[in-house]
Amino acid sequence: MPRRSPLVIGHRGAPGYRPEHSRSSYELALAMGVDAVEPDVVATKDGVLVLRHENEISGTTDVADHPEFADRRTTKRIDGADLTGWFTEDFTWDELATLRTRERLPRIRRSSATFDDAQPILRLTDLLDLVRAGSEEHGREIGIVLEIKHATYFQSIGLDLAPLIERDLRAGGWADGELPLIIECFESTILERLRTVGIAASFVYLIEASGTPYDLVAALGDAAPRYADVVTPAGLDRLVGRVDGISVSKKMLLASGSTLVADAHARGLRVFTWTCRPENAFLDRRFRTGGGKAAFGDFEGEWQAIADTGLDGVFVDHPDLGVAFFR
């Protein structure tokens, strides 16, 4: 049965207040009462899983200020798009450990940007320990929603993320169900692989509002089904038994007449949505107010429309606001 109130998940910690994926971002999220936190994982050259929104790190670290790494700047094709910058897979962990985190959206989140250049990058193992300790400190069970980034791309360059994830989860005591673990990805292939190795987790398929999953593009080319095909009744039927739920862009829930949550629940699938943010820049047009992109709009109006769908979990950037509203 769906929960009466949705899980409140700190999206990359508490990035409304601190640079995303930094230690202080996660610690603040735990203190603000989240049910779980959501890290994104990518890999280094030497197979260390690190927490970054993307493998391209120029927008979230001070890498451009390190002259010793100037020659690492390059252009790559990632999931069908050309990106220029610095990439985690071109660094060892020891090298990345010399960098410091920065606010990804400094024009919108000026206060968070005041914490730039103060904290190192975290590894997945660091976060596993941090959340376990946080559960004990705060006296409640806190989970992790682990998002895998660019699995097909990393496998194509010889960095298969599946065994690296299994290694870290088992070593950290997170693979046997002692604490709540959800594993999610925009590519279903790696979810199915991790499911078969016996990790005690719920597996959630991330769904974009448009486009096509890159793992299926790589395998099937033009014949690959689109994300939109996944959320049809027939598409949801095909997910039963393969994943435990879906996590969809909030645009899909806010669309007029959407029955997506009811359709998924009818098939025993949980539904999550991303990302609940209060700033005008991120709100549906109907809920924006004056004051510019960084000002808070009528986020409670938007969040109520989302809550009314009866979904099972929400990702939030401001955990205090999310906990206060959705609980």
pLDDT tens-digit map of 25-81: 999 999 999 999 999 999 999 999 999 999 999 999 999 999 999 999 999 999 999
For residue 2, pLDDT over 90 is answered with no
Do the bridges between strand 143-148 and strand 181-185 make them parallel or antiparallel, or are there none, so unpaired?
parallel
pLDDT greater than 90 at residue 145: yes
Q: Which of 240, 260, 242, 238 is nearest to 250 (CA)?
A: 260
User: What is residue 307's DSSP assignment?
Assistant: H
Each domain of the chain, given as residue ranges in start order, spans 7-50+122-326
| Dihedral class, residue 117 (left if φ above 0, else alpha if ψ from -120 to 50, else beta) | left
pLDDT over 70 (residue 3): no
Alpha carbons 32 and 11: distance in angstroms, whole number? 13
Pairing status of strand 74-78 against strand 81-85? antiparallel
Residue 16 makes CB contacts below 8 A (sequence gap 6+) with: 109, 112, 277, 278, 317, 318, 319, 321
Average pLDDT of the chain to the nearest whole number: 97
Query: Residue 1 above 70 pLDDT?
Result: no
CA 141 to chain CA centroid, nearest Å = 20
Question: Can you give the length of the chain in residues?
Answer: 327
Place of tokens 């493998």: 55
Across the range 186-213, mean pLDDT stands at 97
d(CA 239, CA 69): 44
pTM of the model: 0.97
Asked whether the beta carbons of 39 and 25 are under 8 A apart, the reply is no
Contacts of 3 (CB under 8 A, 6+ apart): 312
HEC secondary structure over 152-212: HHHHHCCCCHHHHHHHHHHHCCCCCCCCCEEEEECCHHHHHHHHHCCCCCEEEEEECCCCC
Pick the CATH number of 7-50+122-326 from 3.20.20.190, 3.40.50.2300, 2.60.260.20, 3.40.50.300: 3.20.20.190
Q: How far apart are the first and last CA of the chain?
A: 18
For the segment 11-22, the average pLDDT, to the nearest whole number, is 98
Cβ-contact 296, 280 below 8 angstroms: yes
pLDDT band at 5 (very low <50, low <70, confident <90, very high): confident
CA-CA-CA-CA torsion for 227, 207, 56, 9, nearest 10 degrees?
180
